[in-house]
A and B are shown apart, each in its own frame.
Chain A
Amino acid sequence: MSAPMIVFDRVSKNYGDLAVLRDINLTVAAGEVISLIGPSGSGKSTLLRCVNHLERIERGSITVDGELIGYRRNGNHAYELPEKLIARQRARIGMVFQSFNLFGHMTALENVIEAPVHVLGIPRREAENLGAELLVRVGLADKLKSYPRMLSGGQQQRVAIARALAMKPKVILFDEPTSALDPELVGEVLDVMRSLAADGMTMMVVTHEMSFAREVCHRIAFMESGRIVECSTPTEVLDNPAFERTRTFLSKVQ
């Protein structure tokens, strides 16, 4: 696989006395799709949220495309960047949430073009064309003018993916994208993610969908109590786990 896109180097984080991330080392290559699995509270979502500095890390470093996230390095010190520069970094790191978080006062198309217009400064007309194209791509050609509350969960999540794509991100982080969906709506969202993977998008996916992880992801990282217990190909992790804890977890979810 190609050059490293996301690099976690000895990343640790605490909530008070509780260590939520312990010494995480992980390199995600450009174009790689990696899924994070593990019991709740194992730090999967926290790890994801650290990548775009929604959460601060306390030790170690995270770089995306060679750029240190959230900080400016000077010798052995890292100084937190001003808000504007962090915002600029986040603009190129897409995020898709479990609860969709579409902007309720905007139509699907307005949701998609909001950041391109008001963050990147793309002319509205141009952004609308791009937004419409993206909504067609996620199969919502007839929902451009619909407000989020008129859409099903699956449709909302697909708008959310289009919204992330509109920023032309280097990576997209998915935080349990299908966990809030009715079972029959999960497929349509996974289909869109599958096509993104096929197009070579770098993706980190926190998920409980083992079949998706097996079929689409290049690697699976199993996390428990803030550590990556093992990280390997889907067949290795799912069919032949090296650790007893992985095996116990898999026996519960499969």
Chain B
Amino acid sequence: MAKTTTADPTDVASEATEPMLTYVPASPWGTRIAAALLSVIVGGFLISIAGNANFGWAVVGEYLFDARILSGLYLTIWLTVVTMIIGVVLGTIFAIMAMSNNIVISTVANAYIWFFRGTPVLVQLIFWYNLGALFPELFIGVPFTPWGMSVPTNTLISPVTAAVLGLGLNEGAYMSEIIRSGLLSVDPGQRQAATSLGMTRGKALWRIVLPQAMPVIVPPTGNQTIGMLKTSSLVSVISLSDLLYSAQTIYSRNFQTIPLLIVACLWYLLATTLLSLLQARIERHFARSRQEIGAVPRRRIFR
């Protein structure tokens, strides 16, 4: 077939002068229309809120930097940081215990997780706050011996201690599951390689396994931290003035309920935003061995 046709010079020339194609990407008109509609709806919504006098924006401005609100904010942040530290430390310990080969150790860890995840944190807070009613005196010293001393429970367990204990122990149970899943995500070969290089189990965990578990551990931990920021508002039941409770105290006097709740929400939003930024930084740090994660595609409105 190919042999029978002789090359026609004019044909070749016409092929050569054919212009190069300019490719035009398909226009996502549907997406653009949807985006435009969405902008109108969201814009209208925002205007209806910002321009609405019933929201009491003047009152919001008045109380935004109120000393009581700021000290409430301080307590909320302090509680979040302290309980999360306790949660992470307890979580790590219980995660390792839960993975132990010894049945007593793993059962104790699992029972702890079972109990503290299975009961409402509100109840746990009240329980710690009322510990004095159950154990009027706490004995600090060597068990089953007279060495040590007794302390009245109520001097030891202040509302702040009760809050830290309640939230921290509860958080530890959740964190231990997060950390356990992180540890399980690391290939067992890593531990073997570390062991065969002469590392002890502790060193292998600290230097090899935990760092590689971090990409799995960090995102849910960020979630937990943001959750804790708001869960900590439960401490109002044991009469601690956190951010929300401070706002409530003020509006119970001046009846500016909505503006004061907005004040509290603005601070919660700011704290959450800062925490999210921090989380993103931490994630980037632990993702440095995974180059493809650094390449986030750029998003545009129009192209």
Contact = CB atoms under 8 A, between A and B. Distances in A.
Interface of A: 52, 54, 83-84, 87-95, 97, 99, 101-107, 114-115, 118-120, 147-150, 160, 163-164, 167
Contacts of A163: 197
Given A101-B187, A104-B212, A83 B200 contact: yes
B12 to A, nearest CB: 42
Contacts of A83: 200-201
B290 interface: yes
B195 A87 contact: yes
Nearest to A116: B197
User: How many B residues are at the interface, by size bracket?
Assistant: 20 to 34
Given A105-B212, A147-B289, A150-B291, A97 B193 contact: yes
Contacts of A89: 198
Nearest to B201: A83
A167 B211 contact: no
B197 A119 contact: yes
A80 to B, nearest CB: 15
Interface string B274-285: 000000000000
B190 A103 contact: yes
A120 B301 CA distance: 56
A46 B130 CA distance: 57
10 contacts: A87-B195, A89-B198, A93-B196, A101-B192, A103-B190, A103-B208, A118-B199, A118-B207, A149-B289, A150-B291
Contact of A90 (B189, B196, B207, B211): B196
Interface string B124-158: 00000000000000000000000000000000000
Contacts of B193: 95, 97, 101-103, 160
B32 interface: no
B283 to A, nearest CB: 13
A107 B291 CA distance: 12
Interface of B: 187, 189-190, 192-201, 203, 207-208, 211-212, 286, 289-291
B184 to A, nearest CB: 15
Contacts of A101: 187, 189-190, 192-193
A54 B168 CA distance: 38
Contacts, number: 76
B96 to A, nearest CB: 15
Nearest to A88: B198
Given A120-B198, A163-B197, 6 more contacts: A91-B198, A92-B198, A97-B193, A104-B190, A115-B198, A147-B291
A103 B203 CA distance: 14
A99 B189 contact: yes
A110 B111 CA distance: 40
Contacts of A103: 190, 193-194, 208, 212
Contacts of B208: 103, 114
Contacts of A93: 196
A115 B200 CA distance: 11
B98 to A, nearest CB: 21
A90 B200 CA distance: 10
A54 B212 contact: no
Contacts of B197: 90-91, 114-115, 119, 163-164, 167
A14 B213 CA distance: 33
Contacts of A120: 198
A87 B200 CA distance: 6
A96 to B, nearest CB: 9
A224 B211 CA distance: 40
Contacts of A119: 197-199, 203
B71 to A, nearest CB: 42
B240 to A, nearest CB: 40
A114 B207 CA distance: 9
B292 to A, nearest CB: 9
Contacts of B199: 87, 115, 118-119
Contacts of A118: 199, 203, 207
A163 B190 CA distance: 13
Contacts of A95: 193, 196
B59 to A, nearest CB: 51
Contacts of A114: 197, 207-208
Most buried by A among B193, B199, B200, B207: B193
A84 B200 contact: yes
A138 to B, nearest CB: 17
